[in-house]
Amino acid sequence: MLKLIRNKSLKNLNTFGVEAKAKNYYELNSDIDIFDFLSDMDSITKPVYFLGGGANTLFTTNYKGTVVKINMQGITLMSQDDDSYYVEVNAGVKWDDFISFCVENKYYGAENLVAIPGTVGAAPIQNIGAYGVEAKDIIYKVYYYEIDTFIFKQRDAKSCNFGYRNSIFKNELKDKVIITKVLFKLSKTPEFKLEYGRINEELQAKGIKEPSISNIAQTISEIRASKLPDVNEIGNAGSFFKNPIISNEKLNSLKKDFPNIVSYPISDNEVKLAAGWLIDNAGLKGYQIGGAAVHQNQALVLINKDNATGQEVLTLAEYIQKEIMQIYGVELFAEVVFV
């Protein structure tokens, strides 16, 4: 039977560690819990916010509706063929626990996504990515319940409309489904991607000429730890802003004033700018509003430096967006969801 908790503190359920309370709160630990919850949907206080690991959520105030924590656990090898393993992971599993499972069992393809906070159920929504790999590269199917109909459905990766930090679950299906599990397709053969960032450089510094999956995962974890603050030590949500995509024409114009601007080609006509470079070059590292600040070592990360409120983090984010637009004529969009 579902347990309703009233005026639930959400401070320990979001990686920013900001204080906020939910008027009503439920945890869903099984498909039965989901069905019971959906069956009572008419009587549930609205609005409803579905929460995973809280790594991509900023509570800016107390939530006047119902917060629902997706907490189903379990990782299962469902099948395999000559080339691949098919691994089913429930939505409440911590993302990094899933990556550790892949590394330990030598299921290749996920290792570059190590040390990302959050849960598996949130990964397809955001199409999380790091070091040249995105969740879409290993997702085979996504399973979910339609909230209005109670119907259990599945969707293959192609029909999820994955894009850069985007998917059908952020658009057409936003607030209409509950993701319960994801089926991943992992390779039996290593095809390591080592060109992004400092991966190759760090492996060479360690004298590793033929890296293993565990070498790569460990090295990327160390690189991330050197750049990003540990959410267990200081509140943050990792990269706060998306890297903006602009035209080659716009890039050439920017290079006249900012010849060292960092960009990555993504098509014949467009490039992706490094949002962290834009913020750093604008002189905003360490900038603080109330208890919220831009991280001193990584400008793309906003931190809860001194018991910040969610509103202070939001105010800081909006200030950065305004400055970046004024300096570069480029719009920054947040990866983090404001609630």
Confidence at residue 247, expressed as pLDDT on a 0 to 100 scale? 97
Q: Which of 165, 202, 263, 312 is catalytic?
A: 165
Name every residue whose Cβ is closer than 8 Å to that of residue 70 and which is 6 or more positions away in sequence.
28, 50, 51, 52, 91, 92, 119, 121, 178, 179, 180
Active site residue 239: yes
Q: pLDDT tens digits for 235-272?
A: 999 899 999 999 999 999 999 999 999 999 999 999 99
Q: Which of 84, 167, 239, 263 is catalytic?
A: 239
Mean of all residue pLDDT scores within the chain: 95
Helices and strands of the chain, counted as H and E runs:
8, 20
Phi, psi at 158, each rounded to 5°: -60, -40
Q: What span, in angstroms and rounded, lies between the C-alpha atoms of 127 and 96?
A: 15
For residue 159 the two structure tokens come to 């029909």
Confidence at residue 129, expressed as pLDDT on a 0 to 100 scale? 93
Calculate mean pLDDT across residues 94-101: 97
Question: 148 exposed, middle or buried (CB, 10 Å; 0-12, 13-18, 19+)?
Answer: exposed
Report residue 196's pLDDT band, with 50, 70 and 90 as the boundaries. confident
Would you say the pTM of this structure is higher than 0.95? no
Helices 95-105, 213-227: inter-axial angle, 10-degree rounding: 150
| 321 CA to centre of own chain | 20
For residue 185 the two structure tokens come to 């397709």
Given a contact cutoff of 8 angstroms between Cβ atoms, the answer to whether 55 and 118 are in contact is yes
Report residue 164's pLDDT band, with 50, 70 and 90 as the boundaries. confident
Question: Given phi > 0 = left and psi -120 to 50 = alpha, else beta, which region is 165?
Answer: left
Rg (CA), the chain: 20
Please determine, for residue 183, whether its predicted confidence score (pLDDT) is greater than 80: yes
Please determine, for residue 93, whether its predicted confidence score (pLDDT) is greater than 80: yes
Ordered by where they begin, the domains of the chain are 5-70 (3.30.43.10), 75-187 (3.30.465.10), 235-338 (3.90.78.10)
Calculate mean pLDDT across residues 270-293: 97
Given a contact cutoff of 8 angstroms between Cβ atoms, the answer to whether 169 and 160 are in contact is yes
Report residue 20's pLDDT band, with 50, 70 and 90 as the boundaries. very high
Report residue 176's pLDDT band, with 50, 70 and 90 as the boundaries. very high
Please determine, for residue 75, whether its predicted confidence score (pLDDT) is greater than 80: yes
Q: pLDDT tens digits for 303-331?
A: 999 999 999 999 999 999 999 999 999 99
- Judge if the upstream peptide bond of residue 47 is cis by omega within 30 degrees of 0: yes
Q: Which of 19, 222, 270, 335 is catalytic?
A: 335
Active site residue 198: no
Q: pLDDT tens digits for 125-141?
A: 999 999 999 999 999 99
Report residue 226's pLDDT band, with 50, 70 and 90 as the boundaries. confident
Given a contact cutoff of 8 angstroms between Cβ atoms, the answer to whether 286 and 293 are in contact is yes
